[in-house]
Each structure stands twice: as structure tokens, then as C-alpha cells.
Amino acid sequence: MNGATRAEVCVVACAEAWRGDGEMLAAAMGTCSILGARLARLTFEPGLLTTDGGALLTAEPVPLGAPAGAVEGWLPFREHLWLVQNGRRHVMMGASQIDRHGNTNISAIGDWARPSSQLLGARGAPGNTICNPTSYWIPRHSTRVFVPKVDMVSGVGFDRAAELGPEASRFHALRRVVTDLGVFDFRTPDGSMRLVSVHPGVDVGQVSAATGFDLEIGGDVPETRRPTDEELRLIREVLDPASARDREVRA
Amino acid sequence: MGAVMSVEEIVGSLESGMTIGIGGWGSRRKPMALVRAICRSSLTDLTIVSYGGPDVGLLCAAGKVRRVAAPFVTLDSIALEPHFRAARQSGAVHFTEYDEGMFMFGLLAAAHRLPFLPTRAGLGSDVMRVNPGLRTVRSPFEDGEELVAVPALTLDAALVHLDLADTRGNGQYLGPDPYMDDLFAKAAVRCYLSCERMVEPGELAGPPQTLLVSRMHVTGVAETPNGGHFTDRGPGQPRDEAFQRHYAASAAGPEAWAEFTGRFLSGDEAAYQEAVRQWHEEERR
């Protein structure tokens, strides 16, 4: 099929981040990422656990913004922070800046001591990245986000993890980065970012131009897989009938 | 045993320069009536320890804060807290920036009267760079692993807001998340508890595991109806999103903020609640 919108391609690309994870928490921030976690659970990764966006583990994946309905567990913030340490969790976070080794910044732009723009603060990014698998969802791929050097390392990248040594970094695992233009990972000898696929309608040059550092790009970059008919039905009719995804990624 | 106190008596017992922990999380179940009373007080030079929300923002806007220790400051439905941003960008406040889990370990250490607790959270990140006082500790066992030693976040006072409390100072939460309010109470030399509604001892019904804060940790308890406004509280008392948007929009410039403070923050708590009621009435027209 294929009248899939860019946002729908992104939802499926986010869902793919959790493929093979089995029985662990799929924690997500951002509309397409949350939809991706729930879609993965509804299709190829039924063992995943997902929340209502709050403290409840829902018995079934719920539509965006819907009440939890039946519940299978309790995950208040204290338990969530404990789970980070325990590791049975794969989180997909956002990032205001990301560099070629996957260091990310959600804390502040400019000099940390007196920032030109104070953002959220480190939140759980340091613990997430050093304790459990982490992916990123970035709705607007640009040179403002993909920078040579982030201003503050909130999320730990591969070069920083390598400096810590094999013991301290043994749970560090950056899996993939999904943007509105393509899919990326770090499966290169020095853990630098690699272009895995471009979304339908995007060309490689466009991705390079929107990236403020040199990406690893192989000879023949494939296209991101398109949603199946069943995935489109689940996204459109079950998980996001109000099309919140189109407010995050323009069609 | 917690004494029943007024909001003014609680704030009157605090001192400038104190380290004060504030319970809740982001824009959720914050002791806003107590925060508003601190804004009205002569207290200054405070260190605020908080999973930060509009509590931190209001206190920064009122010039009460020397230092903020927090893993984030957010309004949840509005990602960035405008007054905290302004205070950071003008250099008006110092910031001790932690990871969320690190922060919890700091409260746990204080609650257990330990000097620190070890964790991986923070390793490799710039949290270590911007907090040069943080140290690491090496495991004495065969693994020899190096970990962050999170120092105890010991508090001079903690302020928490629960849905219900009894006159002895036992507190109960009704929503799905206790946040860290019991840890704040245990990490503090003195804890003050405000509640939406106060009942007699023995009248806190419901599952015993919702009895979060014990009177053994509470110095004073105050009934503050709607005192968590405009943050999210228990069932039936969601965040006042319209008013929060008005609060955030009013931070845009000195004139808008002067108008907001003149209308909502220049009288006592009863005047605040009445001004909010009138504001909503006008908005409905």
C-alpha cells in the first residue's frame, strides 16, 4: 500500500527500535515514539510492556491520550527510576542536540554556567544511557540538532562510554536514531553514526545537508520499510484516530 | 506528633539561607499554598531541592532562591518553566543539576543517614563536569567497579502536599503516584505537610499502603483546600491547564508578570483562590 504519510513511516521506524526486545518496558517520549512502542506491542513484539503515559502499566496498548483501561501493573516514578537501574527497559528519548557518537543534550544551550537557553535539565538521560538500551526520536532533522559537539552531555555517547572502560560501560547500548528523514545507528568500528535508511521521498544528499557532521554512509542506502496495511489500520483507526502524529511530523 | 499549624506559622518557622526540599514532581501535587506563602514572606537566599515545577519557577520569580538542586524543571504539559529559564539565563540562580535517579539516591542517602549512595547514573555525562564536587567511589569487592557517590541531599526542611491528612500529621495520597514525598519527609530535619482536606485521627480510610507520610516525620500539618492549585492532584483534581497557560504566558515580560502578581499573588491564600475563581468566570464569558 501505499498512501502512508511521512509521520506513519516514522511511527513504524520507531516501532522497529523495539524489535527483538521481548519482555521489557518500552518507554517513549514524543507522539510518533509512543505510537511506535504501542504498535510494536500490537504486532511483532507482543511481550513489551507499555504505560498509559503515567504510572500505570496497561493490560493492552491504549490509544494516544485514552484512559488506561484494564491495568497489569504499577510503575510510579520511583519504580520507573529503579527499573532504569535494573535494565529491563528500552527508552526512546528526544534530544535538542546530538553528535556523531550519540552524545545528546536536553539540558541547556550555550555555556552551562549561564546558558543562552535553559532547557529541561538532564532529566533521566545520564542514568538511561549508562544503564539500559536507549534510542532517540528526533521529529525535525536539522543542523541545529545534529551538531559536531553538544553543549552539555546529558545522554552518554559511544566515545564517552569507551573512556569509562568496559566495566562501567557494559550496559551502555545506543540502538538507533529515528528522524523525519531517516533511520541511523552506531554499528561502526568507533561507534559513530551511520545512515541505515532514508524514508520514502528523501534522498541521501538531503540527509547529509541537514546533518552538521560527517555521517557514515554506505554505497547503496536502502529505503525505510513502508508500513503494512495492518500497521496503517492500527495507526489510523486504533492508536491515533485524531492524527496527533501529523502535528509532530508534517505530511 | 505533628501540630496543626497555619500556612503563615509554617513559613514563619523557616529561616533565610535554609535548604528546603519540595515534594511532588514537575507540575504535580506541589505544595503551592506553602510556596505562595514563601513568596509573600521575607525569606531569601534559599536552596531549593525539587523535582522542579512551578514551585521552583514562582520562587525564582519572587527572588527567594540562591540555588536550585534538581534533575529538571518543567510544567509537564508545557515543557519548559519560563521563570526558571529566565533566572538561569540571567545568572540569578546557581544550579546543581542531577540525573533523576541520582537525585532519588541523594534523598535515599539522607533518609538513611548515610553520607552517600553509589549509582551508575551520571557516569560519563557532563553532570559530573558541572558538579565538580561530585566524587566517585570504587567497589571494595572483586569487580572493583567505579561508581558515582551521590552525596546525601539532607534538608533543613521539607514541604509536601498530600490529598488527605489527619490532625496528627499522617498523610495519604489518592492518585496513582506517591512521587518521592515520603523520602523528602525522611531526608529533612523538619517536614511540613499541607493537605487538601484534614480529618480526625483514624479517619484516613482506604488501603493502608496509601498512608505515605507518617506523623513521626512531620513537625506541622496545615489544611489548604485547593492548596495544590494549579498543579495536578489526586482523582477529580487535575491540573488547571488553562490557568497554568496563563501563568506561563504572563512570564513573557515584566508588565504581564506585574499584572499577574498584582492580581493573584499580592494577597493571602484566600485572596488567591478568589482571584482564580473570578479569572475562570471571566474566561467562561
Of A127, A161, A168, which is closest to B100 when you measure between CB atoms?
A127
Mean pLDDT (whole number) for A85-98 = 98
Residues A218, A222, A227, A228: is their CA dihedral positive or negative? Answer: negative
pLDDT above 80 (res B1) = no
Is the pLDDT at A1 greater than 50, yes or no? no
pLDDT at A18 over 90: yes
Q: Which residues contact A200 (CB under 8 A, 6 or more apart)?
A: A4, A9, A223, A224, A226
B150 interfaces chain A, CB cutoff of 8 Å: no
State chain B's mean pLDDT as an integer: 97
Cβ-defined contact of A122 to B71 (cutoff 8 Å): yes
A164 close contact with B: CB closer than 8 A: yes
- Is residue A166 within 8 angstroms of chain B, CB to CB? no
Q: Can you tell me the distance from the alpha carbon of A33 to that of A45, in angstroms, rounded to the nearest whole number?
A: 15
Q: Is A112 on the interface with B (CB under 8 A)?
A: yes
Q: Do B80 and A119 touch (CB under 8 A)?
A: yes
Q: Hey, of B74, B125, B141, B212, which one would you mutate to test binding to chain A, going by the most A CBs within 10 A of its CB?
A: B125
Contact B74 A120 (CB under 8 A): yes
Q: Is the pLDDT of residue B234 over 90?
A: no
Distance from CA of A72 to the nearest CA of B (A): 14
What's the average model confidence in pLDDT over B231-236? 93
B121 to A84: CB separation less than 8 angstroms, yes or no: yes
Distances (CA, A) of B247 to B216, B234, B265: 36, 21, 11
Look at residue A115 and tell me whether its pLDDT is greater than 70: yes
| Region B9-22 average pLDDT | 98
Most A-contacting residue of B99, B134, B173 (CB-CB within 10 A), to test interface: B99
**Digit-coded pLDDT (tens) for B184-213:** 999 999 999 999 999 999 999 999 999 999
The rounded percent of chain A whose pLDDT value lies above 90 is 97
pTM for the whole structure: 0.97
pLDDT at A251 over 90: no
pLDDT, one tens digit per residue, over B39-79 is: 999 999 999 999 999 999 999 999 999 999 999 999 999 99
**Cβ count within 10 A of residue A85:** 18
- Answer whether B131 touches A (CB < 8 Å): no
Strands A56-58 and A108-109, sheet pairing: unpaired
Q: Which residues pair with A118 in a beta bridge?
A: A108
A44 CA: distance to closest CA in chain B (Å):
30
* A67–chain B Cβ distance below 8 A for any pair: no
| Whether A130 and B122 lie within 8 Å, measured CB to CB | yes
